[in-house]
Chains A and B, each alone.
Chain A
Amino acid sequence: GQQVMQIPQYQHVQEGEDFTTYCNSSTTLSNIQWYKQRPGGHPVFLIQLVKSGEVKKQKRLTFQFGEAKKNSSLHITATQTTDVGTYFCAGRNNDMRFGAGTRLTVKP
């Protein structure tokens, strides 16, 4: 069945450093979504990518969807302490499958 793998599982950075999380699917996806879950909170929708090779930006966050629509990445430039949380990708084929998430911690 469809699987969505996300790496790394954890990432600890110094404030101001960049951060990237990667999402890979075993099957071609119709779209991919990204969510952020703050510690103790619930996932919050960030963005959706639909087109092959699509790139979207939200301030310091850059989201990419691979040409083959099987992988995606989220890159944060110059991390801040407010970026702390777990970032999940969710890929849709016939149904939606979430990756296991990347937990980001930021040292001030």
Chain B
Amino acid sequence: GAGVSQSPSNKVTEKGKDVELRCDPISGHTALYWYRQRLGQGLEFLIYFQGNSAPDKSGLPSDRFSAERTGESVSTLTIQRTQQEDSAVYLCASSPFGQLSYGYTFGSGTRLTVV
């Protein structure tokens, strides 16, 4: 597609429920990243996918968080047993080549509110 697409744009869920967030990267972009941004805060790295290599999961805050990506296509970020502290905007970004010399293109994010 023309840009990075994320869905849903907004999600309100009850504490303890599971949620699944989706990211459609730009076609041909081999690298995909997930970030979390709390209100008024910076970008917190969560996970990074590069092609078919093992993902870099070093930023996932707990085992309630997991992400998948099949090849160079769609990625899903799953948060199990959501907590109020998980409320944030979850941003997905993609870039043409691994961790090299290209800027990231961000999606518009999913605003998650846990009530």
Which A residues have a C-beta under 8 Å from some C-beta of B?
6, 31, 33, 35, 41-48, 50, 88, 90, 92, 95-101, 103
Taking a contact as CB atoms under 8 Å apart, the answer to whether A50 and B101 are in contact is yes
Which B residues have a C-beta under 8 Å from some C-beta of A?
33, 35, 40-43, 45, 48, 56, 58, 91, 93, 99, 101-109
Taking a contact as CB atoms under 8 Å apart, the answer to whether B99 and A88 are in contact is no
Taking a contact as CB atoms under 8 Å apart, the answer to whether A101 and B42 are in contact is yes
Taking a contact as CB atoms under 8 Å apart, the answer to whether B45 and A97 are in contact is yes
Q: Would A31 and B101 be within 8 Å (CB), given that A43-B91, A44-B106 are in contact?
A: yes
Q: Which of B35, B43, B105 has the most CB of A within 10 A?
A: B43
Cross-chain pair count, CB within 8 angstroms? 50
Taking a contact as CB atoms under 8 Å apart, the answer to whether A95 and B103 are in contact is no
Taking a contact as CB atoms under 8 Å apart, the answer to whether A42 and B108 are in contact is yes
Q: Would A43 and B45 be within 8 Å (CB), given that A31-B101, A92-B99, A95-B56 are in contact?
A: no
Closest CB of chain B to A2's CB: distance in Å? 11
Closest CB of chain B to A46's CB: distance in Å? 8
CB-CB < 8 A to A99: which residues of B? 42
Q: What separation, in Å, do the CA atoms of A95 and B98 have in the docked complex?
A: 10
Name which residue of chain A comes closest to B106, CB basis: A42
CB-CB < 8 A to A44: which residues of B? 106
Taking a contact as CB atoms under 8 Å apart, the answer to whether A43 and B106 are in contact is yes
Taking a contact as CB atoms under 8 Å apart, the answer to whether B103 and A96 are in contact is no
Q: What separation, in Å, do the CA atoms of A50 and B109 have in the docked complex?
A: 28
Q: What separation, in Å, do the CA atoms of A92 and B95 have in the docked complex?
A: 14
Q: What separation, in Å, do the CA atoms of A42 and B103 have in the docked complex?
A: 14
Closest CB of chain A to B55's CB: distance in Å? 12
Name which residue of chain A comes closest to B91, CB basis: A42
Taking a contact as CB atoms under 8 Å apart, the answer to whether A95 and B99 are in contact is yes
Taking a contact as CB atoms under 8 Å apart, the answer to whether A98 and B45 are in contact is yes
CB-CB < 8 A to B106: which residues of A? 42-44
